[in-house]
Amino acid sequence: MTPLMLLSMVVAASPARCPPFDPLHSSWNAVLQASVKEGVVDYAALHAAPARLEAYLGGLAAVCRADFETWSREQKVAFWVNAYNAFTLRTILDHYPVKSIRSIGLLPGAAWRDAFIPLGHLVGKDAKLSLNDLEHEILRKGFPDARLHFVLVCASKSCPELRSEAYRVDSLSAQFDEAGRRFLADRSKNQLDGPTWKVSSIFKWYRDDFERDGPGLVTFLKRLAPGRIDQASSPQLEFLDYDWSLNGR
């Protein structure tokens, strides 16, 4: 056997090189810049020209587990948050036109349970993942942070707004805080004044997360509340109805 033949056999037996992945999620950032204005998504334009979104989703799926496991905590959180939001857009586009993500599927919540996301290999699973897997099993369990509820966007008007920029490892915590402040400042979603604060139902559904990080829900709200808040006050809380209509034009 010649040296050239031996080299060919070694190369053929070697695992494929993992493609590089942009930690700043620049291609996803470009999609958001072009399609999202003040939290409102131009689904019609995305549906007509989905190539850039599809390319980004393909890049997510191409990440190798060996590389992924070397990433920092912040890199992984940014990856999963951006993936959740991008695959949520994909869900809407796959059923477009649709009035609400809740109208997708035969049973309530079907859109979140659909296992269509080809990222299971990153967490040691052969099967595809669902949006519920990304939010509850991977992010909330693996990277507990109540601010996740400000950045995971469920394509609905009462959700925190989808930012016009990707979440990035170099400024992740600051972006999370800003998302929380913007959400709390939006009076259609939260009204933090008077003896009774009217707040999003998100704070009811995930109260345990906010009370863990507060400590206490009101303490958590005061930390990110817009304007001047009396830190000694003890407001009552009233939870607003949730508008599940699409966050699009």
pLDDT tens, residue order, the chain (249 aa): 433 333 334 333 334 578 899 999 999 999 999 999 999 999 999 999 999 999 999 999 999 999 999 999 999 999 999 999 999 999 999 999 999 999 999 998 999 999 999 999 999 999 999 999 999 999 999 999 999 999 999 999 999 999 999 999 999 999 999 999 999 999 999 999 889 999 999 999 999 999 999 889 999 999 998 877 877 788 999 999 999 999 998
End-to-end CA distance of the chain: 66
What is the Cβ-side half-sphere exposure of residue 105, based on CA atoms within 13 angstroms? 13
Element (H, E) at 196: strand 196-199
Round to whole Å and give the CA distance between 179 and 192: 16
The Cα–Cα gap between 185 and 177 comes to 12
What tokens does 16 get? Answer: 């494929």
Amino acid at 114: D
Residue 6, pLDDT score: 38
Q: Give the whole-angstrom CA distance, residue 10 versus residue 216.
A: 59
Q: Tokens 């206490």 label which residue?
A: 216
If you ran DSSP here, which 8-state letter would residue 138 be given?
Answer: I
Decide: pTM greater than 0.75: yes
SS3 call for 236: strand
Gap between the Cα atoms of 83 and 135, Å rounded: 10
* Number of helices and strands in the chain (H, E): 14, 4
Token pair of 239 as six digits: 């939870």
DSSP string, 63-106: --HHHHTTS-HHHHHHHHHHHHHHHHHHHHHHT-S-SBGGGSSS
The residues that bridge with 197 in the sheet, in sequence order, are: 237
Rg (CA), the chain: 21
Strand partners, 191: 198
Cβ(41)–Cβ(70) below 8 Å = no
Cα 48–chain centre separation: 23
Dist CA 217 CA 7 (whole Å): 63
Specify the DSSP class assigned to residue 131.
H
